[in-house]
Amino acid sequence: MSGVLVCLESRTGELSRISREAIAAGAALATSLNTTLDLALVGPSTDPGFQSLGGATVHAIFALEHPLLAQYTADAYTAACAQLIARVQPDYVLFPHTYQVRDFAPKLATRLGRVLLGDVTAIHVESGTVTFTRQLFQGKLNGIYRAQSPAPCLVSVQAGAFRAEAPQPTTATIEVFRPEIAADSVRAIPGDPFRAAAQTVDLASASILVSVGRGIKDQANIPLVQELATALGAELAASRPICDAGWLPMERQVGSSGQTVAPKLYLAVGISGAIQHLVGMKASQCIVAINKDEHAPIFEVADYGIVGDLFEVIPALTAAVRKARA
């Protein structure tokens, strides 16, 4: 028994970014353990871009095919994954921590009689011992976990915790794996898949984001940050309370129930840094936080921090950017 297996998710024909992040986590783990990395795509595989998955480190790619996998159900996905795991016999099985995985992975772990470590933010390997970091109490504490039960250990990785690699060609073989799934074992009748409202703002592709939080105090003050965003050529984003209050549209929300972003520059203005916000932006290349509370958790992920009143800092910053660009 050996190796790392990463189970991927493709809902629109393309792999989600969090699936690519799971590949990056799996590749790093496999490299540290000097073992193999296999990938599996469960469900409709119209165009998963198999040939550009994971690069040279990938050993094998499994396409799990069965008519009952065409639409997601926890019963069918659990059966399919359990059979693949029995076939591959990996030490570690990684998943992206998506809603779908949250639904079926605990069931899968129970069926296998194994441990599931959910929402993992870091993986460390020291002298062959693997530890996993999970956040507790809304991100106030980190818990370090080591699996002691027999392999495989099931792990789901948090969105934004691992940096997705750019697609790279692979020469790994693609193997169609056809699990046996009895029709009467699937108890749920799938409805139409959930479709998020069409987004007119694609925060994920913006290279600079100015993101505003409750520190802005009033909707009437939003133009202050909009001016900075315009000066920087940035898109405006927000924490959830701003969108909940209707001060900015929902499509500008960053976080676990909003968009996941990874721009070159993320400017967090008056945002405390709650875990639900951090998961949506902490993969940003450079994070600058402006907050009057020097103990605000946002400073823990910030590359640069300005402790100060945003109503003084933002106009000065906007003026400096305009001057530099003039």
Ligand X SMILES: Cc1cc2nc3c(=O)[nH]c(=O)nc-3n(C[C@H](O)[C@H](O)[C@H](O)COP(=O)(O)OP(=O)(O)OC[C@H]3O[C@@H](n4cnc5c(N)ncnc54)[C@H](O)[C@@H]3O)c2cc1C
Which residues in this chain contact ligand X in the complex, by CB under 6 A?
213-215, 239-241, 253-258, 270-272, 274, 276-277, 280, 290-293, 296, 309-311
HEC assignment per residue over 156-189? EECCCCCCCCCCCCCCCEEEEECCCCCHHHCCCC
Least separation in angstroms between residue 272's CB and ligand X is 3
For 38, the token pair is 């296999």
- Looking at beta carbons only, is 63 or 250 nearer to ligand X? 250
Please say whether the beta carbons of 131 and 145 come within 8 A.
Answer: yes
Measured CA to CA, the distance from residue 274 to residue 6 in angstroms comes to: 28
Please say whether the beta carbons of 135 and 143 come within 8 A.
Answer: yes
Q: 172 CB contacts (<8 Å, ≥6 apart)?
A: 39, 53, 54, 58, 59, 60, 61
Least separation in angstroms between residue 256's CB and ligand X is 5
CB-based closest residue to ligand X: 255
Sign (positive or negative) of CA dihedral 88, 91, 97, 100: positive
- Looking at beta carbons only, is 48 or 270 nearer to ligand X? 270
- Looking at beta carbons only, is 75 or 103 nearer to ligand X? 103
Helix segments in the chain, DSSP class H: 17-32, 74-88, 99-112, 222-232, 240-244, 275-281, 298-301, 310-325
Least separation in angstroms between residue 318's CB and ligand X is 15
Measured CA to CA, the distance from residue 325 to residue 265 in angstroms comes to: 17
- Looking at beta carbons only, is 94 or 290 nearer to ligand X? 290
- Looking at beta carbons only, is 154 or 279 nearer to ligand X? 279
Least separation in angstroms between residue 18's CB and ligand X is 14
Q: What is the CA radius of gyration of the chain?
A: 22
Least separation in angstroms between residue 300's CB and ligand X is 12
Q: Is 138 left (phi over 0), alpha (psi -120 to 50) or beta?
A: left
Least separation in angstroms between residue 86's CB and ligand X is 35
- Looking at beta carbons only, is 8 or 216 nearer to ligand X? 216
Least separation in angstroms between residue 276's CB and ligand X is 4
- Looking at beta carbons only, is 45 or 211 nearer to ligand X? 211
